[in-house]
């Protein structure tokens, strides 16, 4: 084993002598899936799981707040929207920090904001205070997701990239399911504040993060820190060789050089990226209107429209979240088997069909729950898939920023959507809400059909060239 590790070091020195910037992506892409990838996925996945918990806690707290603080539909919509306003700022601002200071420091900062503000929400004495705290917490929530997705995309081999990121998003769906389950057990017996206390647990992960995961070697190479990137990749290679695995040959000829110039917002609409950016923004907007709209509003609709008891409404909301996990696991298989574009088309069209049934038929709450679960199965292909696709269509120098802006459009939808739903529910009626969700899905499907770039099996540097 020692001899093999020594050979790995000699190979790394030869590679660095050639051109470390040039070689680092190829060395990462040839790595077999290993304990390093498992640990990174576990740590980033845990951050993702808590992000889901803290994002969706408000959906399960709202039915209790209706009774405790006597808030009406427009106040509900505002409380949902203000959190997404913070997420909008975080998605763009913190992704910019990830481009400047690195993926790991930005992820740590996001986790600190999320956990500390969750503890603040637990102590909120009134609706206005909770409104402000949710806004600030949203900054961290909005930053964590695109940074984590970009980070993991950059560390994964091409052949497994989509599958691993889908598994990451399955953990997000698992967080959503855990939120629903914990809410059914906690809120009726101990009150809504305990949910926010639980949401403060990522504070521990934020403190430990520097000892658990490395910085992205691709990012290090992009900002001119090639020697650090080379040393980091060499250490990963040595760990894999020490475990008895054989490293494949580096495919030097297939790797374009890394471009090291900094990128800004205007570059997202520059030559070669305008169509990609505009289409992914519209796709992100549409999937958020429908996917997060259902997750956020269904517990409240069960209480306010279908007049279900609080505990039963929370139990009903659990089922679509379970369907979401199944959808994410199906997507982890499908995304590398049939490709990104078919998955996105399936997600939008499959998500719209049950909602169109709810537009035309007045059904009991039980049937609504089942149809919303079918819809969430397909919509999770989108809610997970966007974090595979968005990081893939941008180069490393603007990957976190590009992903952050794409997810910012999801937050814009999450701000506008609840306000529209509140108005529709107050002045038009429940069928119009389901029609609004279905219409957004159909617009998303049309955008995918017309503009989507298939990325399956293509290296990040190849897609960026």
Tell me, what's the pLDDT at 262?
64
Contact 148, 168 (CB under 8 A): yes
Domain ranges of the chain: 2-247+265-464
Residue 199: both structure tokens together = 């949401």
* Residue 18: per-residue pLDDT: 47
Which residue, 273, 443, 412, is CA-closest to 344?
443
User: For residue 135, what pLDDT is reported?
Assistant: 94
Cα-based distances in Å from 410 to 186, 277, 355: 29, 13, 20
Structure tokens at 259: 């471009």
Model confidence pLDDT, tens digit, residues 221-230: 888 888 899 9
**CA 3 – CA 7 distance, rounded (Å):** 6
User: Is the pLDDT assigned to residue 430 strictly greater than 80?
Assistant: yes
pLDDT band at 365 (very low <50, low <70, confident <90, very high): confident
| Dist CA 431 CA 429 (whole Å) | 6
% of the chain at pLDDT higher than 70 = 92
Q: How far is it, in rounded angstroms, from Cα 398 to Cα 212?
A: 25
Mean pLDDT of the chain: 86
For residue 22, the model assigns a pLDDT of 57
In this predicted structure, the answer to whether residue 217 has a pLDDT above a threshold of 90 is: yes
The correct answer on CATH 1.20.1250.20 for the domain covering 2-247+265-464 is yes
Determine the pLDDT at residue 276.
94
| Burial classification of residue 38, based on how many CB atoms lie within 10 Å of its CB (0-12 exposed, 13-18 middle, 19 or more buried) | exposed
Q: What CA–CA distance (Å, rounded) separates 357 from 363?
A: 9
Look at residue 252 in the predicted model and tell me its pLDDT. 59
The predicted structure's pLDDT at residue 206: 94
> What pLDDT shows up at residue 17?
46
Which residues have C-beta within 8 Å of that of residue 274, sequence separation ≥ 6? none
pLDDT digits (tens, 9 = 90+) for 97-125: 999 999 999 999 999 999 999 999 999 99
Q: What is the pLDDT of residues 160-201, one digit of tens each?
A: 888 988 888 888 778 877 888 898 889 888 989 999 999 999
Q: If you average pLDDT over residues 294-302, what whole number do you get?
A: 80
pLDDT at 436: 94
Rounded CA separation 351/373 (Å): 10
Write down the pLDDT at residue 16.
Answer: 47
| pLDDT computed for residue 403 by the predictor | 92
pLDDT in tens, 2-60: 555 555 555 455 444 445 555 788 888 888 889 999 999 999 999 988 988 988 898 88
When pLDDT is averaged across residues 252-280 and rounded to a whole number, the result is: 75
Which among 146-155, 169-178, 244-253 has the top mean pLDDT? 146-155
pTM for this structure? 0.81
Helix (H, G, I), strand (E, B) or coil at 402: helix
């Amino acid at each position: 084993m020692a001899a093999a590790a020594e050979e790995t070091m000699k190979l790394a020195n030869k590679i660095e002598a050639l051109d470390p910037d040039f070689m680092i992506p190829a060395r990462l892409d040839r790595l077999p899936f290993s304990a390093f990838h498992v640990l990174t996925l576990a740590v980033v996945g845990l951050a993702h799981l808590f992000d889901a918990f803290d994002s969706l806690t408000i959906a399960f707290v709202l039915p209790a707040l209706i009774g405790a603080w006597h808030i009406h539909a427009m106040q509900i919509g505002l409380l949902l929207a203000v959190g997404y306003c913070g997420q909008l700022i975080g998605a763009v601002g913190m992704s910019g920090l990830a481009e400047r200071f690195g993926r790991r420091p930005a992820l740590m900062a996001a986790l600190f904001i999320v956990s500390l503000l969750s503890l603040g929400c637990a102590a909120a004495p009134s609706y206005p205070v909770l409104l402000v705290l949710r806004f600030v917490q949203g900054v961290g929530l909005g930053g964590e997701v695109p940074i984590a997705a970009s980070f993991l995309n950059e560390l994964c081999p091409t052949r497994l990239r989509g599958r691993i990121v889908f598994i990451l998003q399955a953990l997000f769906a698992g967080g959503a399911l855990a939120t629903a389950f914990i809410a059914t057990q906690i809120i009726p017996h101990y009150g809504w504040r305990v949910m926010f206390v639980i949401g403060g647990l990522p504070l521990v992960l934020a403190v430990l993060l520097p000892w658990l995961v490395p910085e992205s070697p691709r990012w290090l190479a992009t900002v001119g820190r090639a020697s650090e990137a080379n040393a980091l990749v060499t250490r990963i290679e040595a760990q894999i060789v020490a475990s008895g695995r054989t490293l494949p040959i580096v495919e030097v000829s297939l790797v374009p050089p890394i471009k090291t110039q900094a990128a800004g917002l205007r570059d997202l609409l520059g030559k070669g990226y305008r169509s990609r950016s505009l289409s992914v923004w519209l796709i992100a907007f549409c999937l958020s209107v429908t996917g997060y709209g259902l997750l956020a509003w269904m517990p409240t609709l069960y209480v306010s429209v279908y007049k279900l008891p609080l505990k039963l409404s929370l139990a009903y909301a659990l089922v679509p979240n379970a369907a979401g996990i199944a959808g994410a696991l199906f997507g982890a298989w499908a995304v590398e088997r049939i490709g990104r574009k078919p998955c996105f088309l399936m997600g939008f069209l499959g998500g719209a069909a049950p909602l169109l049934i709810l537009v035309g038929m007045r059904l009991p709450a039980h049937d609504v729950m089942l149809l919303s679960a079918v819809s969430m199965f397909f919509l999770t292909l989108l809610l997970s898939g966007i974090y595979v696709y968005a990081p893939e269509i941008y180069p490393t120098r603007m990957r976190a920023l590009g992903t952050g802006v794409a997810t910012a459009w999801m937050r814009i939808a999450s701000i506008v959507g609840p306000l529209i739903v509140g108005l529709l529910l107050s002045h038009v009626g429940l069928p119009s809400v389901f029609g609004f969700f279905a219409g957004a899905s159909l617009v998303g499907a049309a955008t995918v059909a017309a503009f989507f770039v298939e990325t399956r099996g293509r290296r990040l540097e190849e897609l960026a060239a």
